Amino acid sequence: MDTQRQFDIDFVRSQFPGLQHGWTFFDNAGGSQILKRAVERMTTFLYDKNVQIGGSYDVSQQAAKALMDGRNAAMHLVNASRPEEIVFGSSTTVLLQNLARAMRSQLSAGDEIIVTISDHESNIGPWEGLRDMGVVVRFWPLDATTFELDLADLEPLMSERTKLVCVTHVSNVLGTVNPIAEIAAMVHARGARICVDAVAYAPHRAVDVTAMDVDYYVFSFYKTYGPHYAMMYGKYDHLLELDPLYHFFYGRDKVPGKLEPGNANYELAYSVTGIVDYLCELGARSGATGPTRALILAAFAAITVQENALTDRLLSYLRSRNDCRVIGQTTNRDGGRIPTISFVFEGHNSEDICKAMDDYKIAIRFGDFHARRLGDHVGLPQYNGAVRVSMVHYNTTEEVDRLVAALDAILGRDAPISSKGTI
Tell me the average pLDDT of the chain: 93
User: Is residue 100 within 8 Å of 127, Cβ to Cβ?
Assistant: yes
In this predicted model, which residue has the larger pLDDT, 377 or 228?
228
248 pLDDT higher than 90: no
Q: Determine the pLDDT at residue 215.
A: 98
Is the pLDDT score of 5 beyond 60? no
pTM, two decimal places: 0.94
Q: Residue 407: its pLDDT value, please?
A: 97
**What is the full DSSP assignment across 106-160?**
G--TT-EEEEETTS-GGGTHHHHGGGGGT-EEEEE--BTTTTB--HHHHGGG--T
Using CA atoms, how far apart are residues 310 and 295, in angstroms rounded to an integer? 23
User: How far apart are the C-alpha atoms of 282 and 140, rounded to whole Å?
Assistant: 38
Arithmetic mean of pLDDT, 15-25: 97
Res 416: pLDDT: 40
pLDDT band at 371 (very low <50, low <70, confident <90, very high): confident
Neighbours of 181 (CB within 10 A): 12
3-34+307-411 and 38-275 in the same fold: no
Give 48-96 pLDDT, tens digit per residue. Answer: 999 999 999 999 999 999 999 999 999 999 999 999 999 999 999 999 9
Q: What is the pLDDT of residues 30-60, one digit of tens each?
A: 999 999 999 999 999 999 999 999 999 999 9
For residue 122, what pLDDT is reported?
87
Q: What is the pLDDT of residue 413?
A: 57
Q: Which residues pair with 148 in a beta bridge?
A: 143
Domain ranges of the chain: 3-34+307-411, 38-275
CA dist 31 and 276 (Å) reads: 18
**pLDDT tens readout for residues 273-324:** 999 999 999 999 999 999 999 999 999 999 999 999 999 999 999 999 999 9
pLDDT digits (tens, 9 = 90+) for 118-141: 888 889 999 999 999 999 999 999
Q: What percent of the chain has pLDDT over 70?
A: 96
Query: Running DSSP on this structure, what letter comes out for residue 322?
Result: T
Q: Which fold has domain 3-34+307-411?
A: Aspartate Aminotransferase, domain 1 (3.90.1150)
Q: DSSP per residue over 170-193, as a string?
A: B-TTT-BBP-HHHHHHHHHHTT-E
Q: Radius of gyration (Cα) for the chain, nearest Å?
A: 22
- Whether pLDDT at 373 is above 90: no
Q: Are 140 and 115 in contact (CB under 8 A)?
A: yes
Type of residue at 355? K
Quick one: CA dihedral 292, 293, 295, 300, positive or negative? positive
Q: Look at residue 200 and tell me whether its pLDDT is greater than 80.
A: yes
Is the peptide bond preceding residue 261 cis, with omega within 30 degrees of 0?
no
| 389: β partners | 341
- Tally Cβ neighbours within 10 Å of residue 17: 13
DSSP β-ladder status, 162-168 and 112-116:
parallel
Cα–Cα distance measured from residue 222 to residue 230, given in angstroms and rounded to the nearest whole number: 8
Could you please state the CATH topology (level 3) that the domain comprising 38-275 is classified under. Aspartate Aminotransferase; domain 2 (3.40.640)
What pLDDT, in 10s, does the model give residues 388-421? 999 999 999 999 999 999 999 999 854 444 333 3
